[in-house]
Structure 1
Amino acid sequence: MKDSLKPGLTHRHAFTIPETKTVPYLYPESDMFREMPAVLATGF
């Protein structure tokens, strides 16, 4: 482990989820999926 890795360090990462990674686009052939809210899809 690197000496620079110390307890108490913080990091922040922000990522904007594109529309294509939301539930309606996970399985577009399914009417049920297309009707679901546009939240992050975790089916990958």
Structure 2
Amino acid sequence: MHYILIYKKVAIFCFFGMYINTSYLMNSINILMINPQIRSI
């Protein structure tokens, strides 16, 4: 029972981490595509 709770917490943490990483990646890609001059900074 204890291991199942730990596994659930790790799975939820990994899921949220992947979701945050993908949303951050998409935002940075959108910013680069909208404002190409930012790359020159």
TM-score above 0.5, yes or no: no
TM-score range, shorter chain: under 0.3
Give the TM-score normalised by the residue count of structure 1.
0.23
Give the TM-score normalised by the residue count of structure 2.
0.23
